[in-house]
A and B are shown apart, each in its own frame.
Chain A
Amino acid sequence: MTATTSTPAIAESTRRATAKKLGAIIQGYLFISPVVLGLLIFTIGPMIASFYFSFTKFPLLRAPEWVGVRNYVAMFTQEEHFWQACKVTVTYALTGVPLGLIGSFLLALVLNQRVKGISFFRTCFYVPTVVPAVASAVLWGWLLNPDYGLVNAILMNLGLPTSRFLADPQTALPSMVLMSLWGVGGGMVIYLAGLQNIPESLYEAAKIDGANELRLFWHITIPMMTPTIFFNMVMGLIGAFQTFTTAFVMTGGGPLFATYFYNLMLYERAFRWLQMGMASAMAWFLLIVILILTLLVFRSSNLWVYYETEVK
């Protein structure tokens, strides 16, 4: 008798439970619907489209026409400046990123000193990172002017050799690396936060064991900072591979293609010559290179990045 009365009740309660569950799902997706739609419309959809475009000939005003892998083959074999653009971008990334990492790390070490007025100094070093890229490109173009620039004036005053900087194919790219170091403040604040997160007790314990400053630095500071170094390295690499504005505004890729960055080539293909198919192939090649690089950095990370296991 109990069974007969409870069956509908159970059915009722399960129905209510599923209705409640369904309600929760609908409600949840309602809240995150902006980003779900956004990812579908502005990220995933376009990615699929661009993958398709990369196998087509697509001069924007006509419909895309399937050409197979011809864009990729042409890109690697016939494109006049493709390898030059790769060389420029890789050289820039391989010099600028390590120099930036070391520079911002050293800066953070100095700015971690407990001296009066340190916040003022931290601000001084961070401020360049908020300057708009266009403004800083204009300003640095003038600072590095070979004939009337301040940097050459200072070099001359110090009795050092002057340089043609951005006007000479030999020195144009190194000048841009130098300029990028003006922005080390961005990495610096992240290191600074990392440094301040290292528990003081570690240093105290090591000091009791008789470790000197150098050993403290090498065996505590460096290992504890590796996750932060790792983060800055990944973000730095991704950024360096996509350099555009500084080169576009300051040199337009010259002289003699010495600062012809990958993204500059891509921009010209897509928006000057409207070769959307070829430009998509270039964009996908860049994506794959960045992906492989990031993966390599991630893979190598368990060799050198120290992750604190939570024992508390």
Chain B
Amino acid sequence: MIQEKEIHYGLGDINWRRPAQATRILGSYVVLVIGALIFLLPFFWLISTSLKEQSEVYVFPPNFFPKSFHWENFPDAWNYQGMQFSRWLFNSLFITLTVLVGTVTSSILCGYGFARLSFPGRDIWFMLVLASIMLPGTVTLIPLYVGYHRIGWLDTFKPLTVPAFFGGGAFNIFLMRQFFKGIPLELEEAAIMDGSSRFRILWQIFVPLSLPAVATISVFVFQGVWNDFYGPLIFLTSQENYTLALGINMFKGMFATQIPLMMAMSWFMVIPTLLLFFFAQRLMIRGVILTGIKA
């Protein structure tokens, strides 16, 4: 996952003449397997419960596997009376995609500016960008709410999407800047000699090269927006504007006893993030590490 060029020992490499090494390998596996089982157990329980019959969840001690598999729980929950899951899915996707476009464009522009142009005030602004990571969101939230209230943006997607076009988060700008700093200067100098404008250089040289960084940012944006609860909770009020996260919470509030259906919908919300994680594991972990180490 992180480094490839190490020698890895498996169970087959255990040499019983060297007890210290043998216990180490065996001990590691015992700890790893038990730990992994504990960490994965909630996922198993989520699936198992979502396939049970309503009456079967109120059995104690609970059945580890469902007596029979009730796949109809998924469509039943999706079409549950008063719930608009299709609509909420569409809303979640729409917000996520808009934020994605805004974040990628603005972090490319700003990342390039911070990485490759020199002008007075640049470093101060960059410090401000980094400092904003530490700021608790609640301090700015109330005035923003008041402002959105004044201009009639409450209960629209704008409070959730428009800010993405204005910088798109300190973390993403930082990631883009680090990436652009690694691109050799010579590539750019030749283009400047030819009289290309900076925007053209950015578009024709840097953007095609930056696809790995764009992918990393996209994965994080998707995760952040898809999982966001606080923002939609505050800015969206009418049910048809809800996102999936709000929808599931509403379902929980109204039909708390419909455990299998609730689990089915939670599972539905987890699947995209899991899929994304498995496909983009490397990108994500590299991103997490980059910010962790450099900051």
Contact pattern, A 253-287, Cβ under 8 Å of B = 1, otherwise 0: 00000000001001100110000100110011011
Q: Which one, A124, A134, A136, A190, contacts B289 given CB within 8 A?
A: A190
Closest to A266 in B: B138
Against A, the Cβ 8 Å flags (1 = close, 0 = not) of B268-289 are: 0110011011000100010011
Could you say which residues of chain A place their CB within 8 Å of the CB of B185?
none
Contact of B263 among A41, A50, A126, A142 (CB under 8 A): A142
B28 x A46 contact (CB < 8 A): no
Q: B135 an interface residue at 8 Å Cβ cutoff?
A: yes
**Do B263 and A27 have beta carbons less than 8 Å apart?**
no
* CB-based contact A143/B42 at 8 Å: yes
Decide if B195 is an interface residue (CB 8 Å cutoff).
no
Q: Which A66-86 residues have a C-beta within 8 angstroms of B?
A: none
Determine which of A37, A127, A238 lies in contact with B39 in the assembled complex, contact meaning CB atoms within 8 Å: A127
Q: Do B146 and A276 have beta carbons less than 8 Å apart?
A: yes
Complex contacts, B263 vs chain A, CB 8 Å:
138-139, 142
Report the minimal beta-carbon distance from A195 to chain B, rounded to whole angstroms.
10
Q: How many interface contacts (CB-CB < 8 Å) are there between A and B? A: 273
Interface residue count on the B side (C-beta < 8 Å):
98
CA distance A140 to B49 in the complex (A): 12
In the complex where A148-B58, A271-B234 touch, is A50 in contact with B129 (Cβ < 8 A)?
no
Residues of chain A lying within 8 A (CB to CB) of residue B288: 186, 189-190
Residues of A within 8 A of B112 (CB): 31
Residues facing A in B107-157 (CB within 8 A) are 109-110, 112-114, 117-122, 125, 128-129, 132, 134-147, 149
Closest beta carbon of chain A to B48's beta carbon, Å: 9
Contact (Cβ within 8 A) B140 A42: yes
Among candidates B8, B45, B113, residue contacting A116 with C-beta atoms closer than 8 Å? B8
Give the segment of A10-18, A106-114, A165-173 that binds chain B. A106-114
Report which of B42, B134, B273 forms a contact with A132, defined as CB distance below 8 A. Answer: B273
Contact stretch, chosen from A216-224, A240-248, A302-310: A240-248
Q: A139-B45, A143-B45 are in contact. List 11 more A-B contacts (CB 8 A).
A: A25-B119, A32-B110, A34-B166, A35-B106, A42-B166, A116-B11, A121-B36, A127-B40, A130-B277, A150-B62, A284-B139
| A positions within 8 Å CB-CB of B | 24-25, 27-39, 41-43, 45-47, 49-50, 53, 58, 60, 107, 110-111, 113-119, 121-128, 130-136, 138-140, 142-143, 147-150, 153, 156-157, 182, 185-186, 189-190, 192-194, 196-197, 228, 231-232, 234, 238, 241-242, 244-245, 248-249, 263, 266-267, 270-271, 276, 279-280, 283-284, 286-287, 290, 294
Chain B positions within 8 Å of A, measured between CB atoms, are 1-3, 6-11, 24-25, 28-29, 31-32, 35-36, 39-43, 45-46, 49, 57-62, 106, 109-110, 112-114, 117-122, 125, 128-129, 132, 134-147, 149, 163, 165-168, 173, 198, 223, 226-227, 229-230, 233-234, 245, 248-249, 252, 259, 262-263, 266-267, 269-270, 273-274, 276-277, 281, 285, 288-289, 292-293, 295
